[in-house]
Amino acid sequence: MPCTNNAFVKFSGVQKTYDGETLVVKNLNLEIARGEFLTMLGPSGSGKTTTLTMLAGFEAPTHGSIHLAGRPIDKMPPHKRDIGMVFQNYALFPHLTVKDNLAFPLKVRKLGRAEIEARIKRALDMVQLGAYSARRPGQLSGGQQQRVALARALVFEPKLVLMDEPLGALDKQLREQMQLEIKHIHEDLGVTIVYVTHDQGEALTMSDRIAVFNDGVVQQLAAPDELYERPTNAFVAQFIGENNRLYGNVLGINGTTCNVEISGAGTVKALAINVEAVGRPTVLSLRPERVRLNPTPGSLPNIFDARVKELIYLGDHVRTRLSVCGHDDFVVKLPNSEGIAQLDAGAAITVGWKTEDCRALELLKGTTAAVR
């Protein structure tokens, strides 16, 4: 969902430091469209949660400005920003019933009794908890408490809903169920949601776009399929999904492709996505599911000898670890389907892949050895 000049949320040159020296967020320029589901994804300390708290009003930018619906909100207190919040710990009032928890933000806004009753009913029906209005949070499961927290964030019909790791305390099955429920609620209501997580599966499942943070900087901003299929740097390729990395030096560049020499293993043909120049080191990014086992000789531009190191059965697929081009942690994912080739640890095989499935990228900061 592209943004326009009339972005609903806009960060302009935003920086944040807590000690006056280290920037936690560095010169952030980010636009979010009305009705968009944008996820801020990244490891701990990457700046994503700080960005969210500045948008919520709990922290002030050290530099730059934040606009909501065309209005600057930098000096506006949190309670006047008309923003709903959902936290990982739910932040429900334990002594109040579900109904009273939802009524609280409506009473603060001085709505009439009939309007309050109507909105509570609508919000609880939306999260399928209409029969639980008289219960207290302690009488609900974790998933039900999270639904109440979501309903409370939506009940006063805010302009924007912020979610900070809201599913982190739930078990895997319930977390996946809630991901879909939040996604469907977003689709039904059309509300703008900014979601923070370090879980790439959540981000890929729920988002219209994902901003991948690292070291206080957005490394890439794109739709989920774009991030996964076409990462623009080595950090994104490594952080989103599983990724094989082969290190080498650029031998030649021909338009959009390049040849990369892998020490002692030969030459790989790849897309030249982010390479410096001929002779410079690079890292090749290749998804495990794009690798073919024992391809017909000559059928692919990249075919190499390999040796099976380990096979791990994971139900719907077999994770196969190989030694390829001098790298012992090269992974191939084989779907667990009828007729799958049987492999044994120690077996000698070949592997291959297309040029367009292999991306030559710049080395991550701090990488010292490009060639093995």
Give the model confidence (pLDDT) of 255-314 as tens digits: 999 999 998 789 999 999 998 899 999 999 999 999 999 999 999 999 999 999 998 888
What are the chain's domains? 9-234 (3.40.50.300), 244-361 (2.40.50.100)
Q: What is the pLDDT of residue 324?
A: 94
Instruction: Tell me the percentage of the chain whose pLDDT exceeds 90.
Output: 73
Q: What is the pLDDT of residue 371?
A: 36
Read off the pLDDT of each residue in 82-90 and give the average, rounded to a whole number.
87
Q: What is the pLDDT of residue 126?
A: 87
Q: What is the pLDDT of residue 73?
A: 96
Paired tokens of 203: 């981000």
Asked whether the predicted pLDDT for residue 5 surpasses 70, the reply is: no
Read off the pLDDT of each residue in 89-109 and give the average, rounded to a whole number.
92
Per the CB < 8 A criterion, the answer to whether 194 and 158 are in contact is no
Sheet with 37-41, side-by-side order of all strands = 83-87, 160-164, 192-197, 37-41, 209-214, 217-222
Q: How many CB atoms lie within 10 A of CB 205?
A: 15
Paired tokens of 352: 């291959």
Give the model confidence (pLDDT) of 222-257 as tens digits: 999 999 999 999 999 999 988 999 999 999 999 999
Asked whether the predicted pLDDT for residue 367 surpasses 70, the reply is: no
Q: Which residues of 67-98 are buried (b: 16+ CB within 10 A; e: fewer)?
A: bbeeeebeeeeeeebebbbbbbebebeeeebb
Q: What is the pLDDT of residue 372?
A: 33
Give the model confidence (pLDDT) of 19-57 as tens digits: 999 999 999 999 999 999 999 999 999 999 999 999 999
Residues in the chain: 372
Sheet with 23-32, side-by-side order of all strands = 23-32, 9-17, 63-68, 71-72
Strand pairing report for 348-353 and 292-293: antiparallel
Identify the residue whose tokens are 């086992």: 293
Q: What is the pLDDT of residue 215?
A: 95
Strand pairing report for 266-272 and 257-262: antiparallel
Q: What is the pLDDT of residue 263?
A: 83
